[in-house]
Amino acid sequence: MATMEKQKDNEFEQINLEKLKEEKKISEDKLKLIEASIKGLKVSEEELKSTKPIVREEARLELTEDTKIRLIKEFEQSLPDWVNKPWMYVTPKKANQVESWLDSWSSVMLDYTKRFVIHIVNVNSLRETYPFSNKKIKKELTIDQIRDIIDFLETKGFALWINDRTKFFEKLLAKILGKPLTKKIRAKIEWKTKEEFAEDLLKWMIETGRVVEVHSLYDLTRYEQPWSSLPSDDLINVCNLLVEKGSARWLNREKTIIAFEATKVF
């Protein structure tokens, strides 16, 4: 453990602050935090606060009203005709039909979250959203049906329940009982892989010229890009992917300040 800590220390000790200032645009606040890491100084939570990512209850991109109107129109035009068929709001009884029904609805949910750049959904909100709630034909999916659709997405690797993370013994008890101990309310919908988000992030940095700047995680959450509204742990994982590929580098021990490299494309 001591050897590993020493390697981590060396990683930041090797940062050439003067060279960094020549190559990158960097604020004084970030410089102080980077310098603290180089010197091995402890940084308080208050000092780090301005560099930490924004935590959102429902991770989604803030859209203008005009954009919302346009996206709603495009989304509704893209929907299959069956969303206006009453029978599609009833779960089939035959097993082979259930999977087809789940597959159809899960495709709609993936498209909905991708178009509106939503990373975390709330089952209660979805139940009030078209086409999951269809006022035209006075039909809507139940909470349990929506959960079943998200469960189906989870089996395909496209979703993950957020409030269903329990300790080992709780998971074991849930398995014995045959039902979860916690209510499934919020879930991540992963309509794009972290690798794809990493590519998008680096591409945006290069194309906008911001690759010459040093960024904090807070900065990344303010850029109004699809990856900006990712849950904070996912955004950090995306950055870690770029670091592993040599396309980025953490500049402080707490991993809240990062620099990207245009010469090392992901």
What sign has the CA pseudo-torsion 105, 115, 230, 245?
positive
Does 198 share its domain with 185? no
Q: How far apart are CA 3 and CA 48, in angstroms?
A: 26
Does 185 share its domain with 198? no
Pairing state between β 186-189 and 214-216 = unpaired
* Domain extent at residue 124: 79-189
Q: What pLDDT score does 55 carry? A: 82
Q: Specify the number of domains making up the chain.
A: 2
Does 167 share its domain with 207? no
Q: What pLDDT score does 1 carry? A: 31
Q: CA 171, 174, 178, 180: dihedral to nearest 10 degrees?
A: -90
- The answer to whether residue 53 is domain-embedded is yes
Does 178 share its domain with 198? no
> At 216, which helix (H) or strand (E)?
strand 214-216
pTM: 0.83
Q: Looking at residues 16-31, what average pLDDT do you find? A: 90
Does 84 share its domain with 157? yes
Query: And the tokens for 54?
Result: 């924004």
- The answer to whether residue 69 is domain-embedded is no
Q: Burial of 146 by CB count in 10 Å (0-12 exposed, 13-18 middle, 19+ buried)?
A: buried
Among 189, 207, 223, the domain boundary falls at 189
Q: How far apart are CA 260 and CA 18, in angstroms?
A: 17
Q: What pLDDT score does 147 carry? A: 97
Does 249 share its domain with 161? no
Does 51 share its domain with 111? no
Q: How far apart are CA 223 and CA 54, in angstroms?
A: 12
Does 103 share its domain with 158? yes
- pLDDT by residue (tens digit) across 92-126? 999 889 999 999 999 999 999 999 999 999 999 99
Is the separation of the CB atoms in 59 and 229 below 8 Å? Answer: yes
Is the separation of the CB atoms in 149 and 142 below 8 Å? Answer: no
Q: How far apart are CA 220 and CA 218, in angstroms?
A: 5
- pLDDT by residue (tens digit) across 43-74? 899 999 999 998 877 778 888 899 999 999 99
Q: How far apart are CA 175 and CA 124, in angstroms?
A: 25
Q: How far apart are CA 106 and CA 234, in angstroms?
A: 22
Q: How far apart are CA 262 and CA 258, in angstroms?
A: 13
Among 138, 159, 189, the domain boundary falls at 189
Does 102 share its domain with 159? yes
- The answer to whether residue 5 is domain-embedded is no
Give residue 246's region: left, alpha or beta (phi > 0; psi -120 to 50): left
168 or 109, higher pLDDT: 109
- The answer to whether residue 63 is domain-embedded is no
- The answer to whether residue 4 is domain-embedded is no
- The answer to whether residue 231 is domain-embedded is yes
Does 235 share its domain with 153? no
Cβ-count burial 150-171 (b if 16+ within 10 Å, e if not)? bbbbbeeebbbbbebeeeeeee
Does 117 share its domain with 155? yes
44 or 176, higher pLDDT: 44
Among 162, 189, 216, the domain boundary falls at 189
CATH classification of the domain holding 160: 1.10.10.570
Does 83 share its domain with 179? yes
